[in-house]
Amino acid sequence: MELDHAARCLEKLGNPTRLEVFRLLVKAGHDGLSVGAIQEHLGVPASTLSHHVAHLVNVGLVSQEREGRVLRCRPNFPLMDELIGFLTSECCVLADAPEEPAAARA
């Protein structure tokens, strides 16, 4: 994962409402939740919530699928794993880790 995409994901998760939305979706598991269900949980006005969810969808952390009248939102687990992988490998390694995985060292 590129640093810029990681930064965009972190930026989106860096809003308390959105982080709560995302956490809620993760707790809900692979089936996710509808926008309305999220609203019931968090009590945020619909337009505000829609705006926040759109941010998460934009950056790929949440996907949406229409099911009749409701829009089902699901967390993107693989992307979240990538993000955590980025943080762990690029921003958390101490000790003597080399800058590059292999090669390039004349």
Partner DNA sequence: ACGATATTTCTAGAACTATCGAAATAAATT
Partner DNA sequence: AATTTATTTCGATAGTTCTAGAAATATCGT
Interface positions with a copy of itself (CB under 8 A): 3-4, 6-16, 19-20, 22-23, 26-27, 29-30, 75, 77, 80-81, 83-84, 87-88, 90-95, 97, 99
Q: Which of 1, 5, 17, 24 binds DNA (CB under 7 A)?
A: 17
Q: How far is CA 30 from CA 72, 91, 97, in A?
A: 11, 28, 35
> How many whole angstroms separate alpha carbon 19 and alpha carbon 61?
11
Helix 46-58 × helix 3-13 angle, to 10°: 160
23 binds DNA (CB under 7 A): no
Select 53 or 83, whichever has its Cβ closest to DNA. Answer: 53
User: In this structure, what token pair is assigned to residue 66?
Assistant: 């229409």
Q: Which of 29, 36, 84, 97 binds DNA (CB under 7 A)?
A: 36
Least Å distance between CB 65 and DNA? 10
Q: Which one-letter amino acid corresponds to residue 42?
A: L
Other Cβ atoms less than 10 A from the Cβ of 75: the count is 23
List of residues contacting DNA (CB under 7 A): 11, 15, 17-18, 34-37, 39, 44-55, 64, 66, 68-71
